[in-house]
A and B are shown apart, each in its own frame.
Chain A
Amino acid sequence: MTVEASRNVLASDFLEGRAKKRRSIAITAPEGVTLFFNLADPGERLTAFAIDFVIWTVATIIFYLVLIFVVFGAMKLNNQIGLTIALSIMLFLGFAIRNFYFIHFELAWQGSTPGKRAVGIRVVDRKGGALTPMAIVARNLTREVEIFIPLGVLSSLGHSNGTMENLALTAWILLFSALPLFNRLRMRGGDLIAGTVVVALPRKMLLTDLVDAGTQTVFLEKHLRAYGTFELQILEELLRRPNAPDAVQLRREVTDKIVKKIGWTAKVADADTLRFLTDFYAAQRAHLEREQLYGKFRADKNAPVTTAR
């Protein structure tokens, strides 16, 4: 059922669909090239925070276990000074873990924490400048108020008496913690102050060029007028995962649609669909890229050809 649904989505994408775009901010590098930083989703940020939260909790528990161990050890030895020093160090470390975990990692890892790194997101300066230590400190100073206090409040929400109190607390949580959901750049209060945003920085692999396979089919120009860049890239995506479980059937469907659309009269056998689609991709890309060099760009099959400005 789910396989069926996903296939239909892709097959129709090839003809009618639209790609979903992430929100991004444009930053022009000093070299004059505009770079696009994709913003991290709220889900990604929540996941990253959850991972950090678990690490932080485990670290704190370990420190307190060590604390208890050392305290009991010291009491057996009846060593008053050792006990004092151990207690004081451990208490301070517990506090430090709680308050400086994020600041430390974002400073040392240039805007990343273990959770953020696992998810593939990072803190960057909103204007594209260097991420200064002060900005990192600034965005983490408000974390206590935005996240830890509301977390504490949430856990005590049931116990407090009076609806007014609950209402005020809910308003508080909404005002501060849900701030990222209410602005376009998905900023927390700390991000507002520090002038930062959290962006997704996925690692992309450079795969082999599909054109490298060469071509066996000759298409005429009249066959290549049907589609634009968008369809070309959807086809690329289809060809780049040839081992999907339903790939054979999917290729058959897409081949039939293309054959009908471009007026291809020869029959394409089931065994030849991959070859046909690869060749069509190469020919279509060669055609569109050539046109683009002459200043004619075509976004998708519905768009008219635009001449370069």
Chain B
Amino acid sequence: MTALEKSDLSAGPKPLVLKSNQFRKAREDTWRELEALVARAEKRGVLSLGPEELERLPILYRATMSSLSVARGIALDRNLLNYLEALAVRAYLVVYGPRVRQLNGAVRFLTTDLPRAVRQARWHVLIAFLAMFGGIVAGFLLAHANEDWVGALVPGDLAGERGPDSTADDLRKDEIYAPWPGLVNSFALMANFLFSHNTLVGLLIFSLGIAAGIPGLLLLFYQGLGLGAFIALHYHRGLLIDFLGWLSVHGVTELTAITLFGAAGLVLAEKVLFPNRMTRLESLATQGKAAAQIAIGAMMMLFVAGILEGGFRQLIQSTEWRFAIGGVTGLFWLNYYTLAGKRG
């Protein structure tokens, strides 16, 4: 046992000079100041900081980032390293977080982003439309040959009382020229129900885009089948024009919206199937936001369609006026998606 290997407990602790310790003492105040600012920004948003604090934030942030890279090189104090790593990440998110005010973002979305995203996806829109149109044609042909198909192609709760047994009078009385159910039922209940139901179908079509698009296209086709079968049902009873008028009030908007949901799903599917030079994940992330923009646009259209269908369809009892509304909405959407937000 040598003399050196002895704890000198009588003399009391002697201070120890460590570079990492000195480094910490010199900078700790900066970190604490940044930590307080970041904590407040996380709680109440960056904009809750005062002008002087906003000025301090990037300075403190850069100083802390520099501290972090020095600490990684010289310090072995794990608590210090973990603290700096966590603080740097939190500060980074505050400093480089989004600064767009929600209202400005919404206006920009409506006037520019949405129509532009739809224009960029015009081929996807076409394919989605063809899938649904194919469904309509197939449904019509099937039900034209045999009306029993109507029951098979349309889910029971949507068909209601309508089916092969319905007579022309039934359809006229209960469907096309059914009396307006009143303000409460039409706007409050019916519009809400229709919107929720259609949105669910639309989101399903959109989300299935991740699964390479085929299920989404099938769902579009299926939506078309039911409609085609209904058209055939009315055609046989000499109500084709009245039915189309009745349908066009909301149908123009609704079918466009469903088509857009399908197109958004196809945008996703394209990126999954043909990632180009990127990995599939990167590829999906590049177009995912554009697809979501289209889906949000479609959702808003469904909201409009829900109000038209639940509220106005039965209020207006003349086929001519119904066609007029359908035509006007159609023209409006066409103009909006082809012209809005174009530069120069």
Binding site for B on A (CB under 8 A): 27, 29-31, 33, 35-37, 80, 83-84, 87-88, 91-92, 95, 99, 107-108, 110, 122, 124, 126, 128-135, 137-138, 141-142, 144-146, 149, 175-176, 189, 192-195, 199, 201-207, 209-218, 220, 229, 232-233, 236-237, 240, 264-266, 268, 272, 275-276, 279, 282, 285-286, 288-289, 292-293
Sample (19) of A-B pairs whose CB atoms are under 8 Å apart: A33-B69, A80-B184, A92-B192, A95-B196, A122-B93, A128-B92, A134-B292, A142-B210, A144-B207, A193-B268, A202-B86, A204-B83, A212-B21, A214-B13, A232-B76, A265-B2, A266-B7, A276-B7, A289-B74
Residues of B68-113 contacting chain A, CB below 8 A: 68-69, 73-80, 82-83, 85-90, 92-93, 96-100, 102, 105, 109, 113
Residues of B within 8 A of A (CB): 1-2, 4-9, 11-16, 18-21, 24, 28, 31-32, 39, 42, 45, 62, 65-66, 68-69, 73-80, 82-83, 85-90, 92-93, 96-100, 102, 105, 109, 113, 183-184, 187-189, 192, 195-196, 199-200, 203-204, 206-208, 210-211, 268, 281, 284-286, 288-289, 291-293, 295-296
Determine the distance from Cα of A160 to Cα of B327 in the docked complex, in whole angstroms: 43
B9 surroundings in chain A (CB, below 8 A):
216, 272, 275
User: How far apart are A39's CB and chain B's nearest CB, in angstroms?
Assistant: 12
List the B side residues contacting A149 at CB < 8 Å: 200, 204
Q: Which residues of B contact A205 (CB under 8 A)?
A: 83
A49 to B85 CA separation, bound complex (whole angstroms): 27
Main secondary structure of the interface of A (DSSP, over half): helix
Query: Which 9 pairs, one residue from A and one from B, show the smallest C-beta to C-beta distance?
Result: A195-B285, A214-B13, A138-B292, A193-B288, A88-B188, A145-B207, A204-B86, A233-B78, A217-B7
> From residue A157, how far is it (CB to closest CB) to chain B in Å?
19
A133 to B39, alpha carbons, bound, how many Å?
Answer: 22
Q: Which of A132, A137, A201, A275 contacts B86 (CB 8 A)?
A: A201
Contact pick for B16, options A30, A282, A292, CB 8 Å? A282
Q: Which of B75, B87, B210 has the most CB atoms of chain A within a 10 A radius of its CB?
A: B210
